[in-house]
Structure 1
């Protein structure tokens, strides 16, 4: 038994594992990775989805005539308060 104890002492002379604060280090690392992915996703969505949609709406309403649209719907008879003459 004394022999096995000597082996343990010699093998224990290396660096010891870190036992305190492992969870905090893990959470810092993965929280920063998660925030980076979230920001990247928001930026990608803004420029691939939102900006083209805003341009399409702006282009649509640039040429949109609400009076002509009202007359078209009135002639179809969709309004109860306006006759479909």
Structure 2
């Protein structure tokens, strides 16, 4: 009793026909999950923050705290 020789001819093509569509589908699923799970909420958080953000109020607060060396507080 002898072992059957492995079939090597066309093995890569046979494996790729099976694995390539699966890999492609999984990569699309991962990209969509990242887009809707990470990117969209992040963009929404930035939009919500900048709806209420007042740059001049922030600047005046930092100026009053003495963070800037070239700007004097308005009380001096």
Normalised by the size of structure 2, how large is the TM-score?
0.77
Which one has more relative contact order, counting CA pairs under 8 Å at least 6 apart?
2
Number of matched pairs: 70
Structure 2: unaligned runs, 5 residues or longer: none
Equivalents in 2 of 1:76, 1:31: separation in Å? 60
- Alignment correspondent of 2:11: 22
Structure exhibiting the larger radius of gyration computed from Cα positions:
1
Paired residue for 1:47, among 33, 36, 61? 36
RMSD, aligned α-carbons = 2.0
Structure 1: unaligned runs, 5 residues or longer: 5-16
Q: Tell me how far 1:25 sits from its aligned partner.
A: 1.7
Normalised by the size of structure 1, how large is the TM-score?
0.70
Matched ranges for 1:2-81 at <5 A: 19-81=8-70
Q: Tell me how far 1:41 sits from its aligned partner.
A: 0.6
Q: Tell me how far 1:18 sits from its aligned partner.
A: 5.4
Q: Tell me how far 1:30 sits from its aligned partner.
A: 1.7
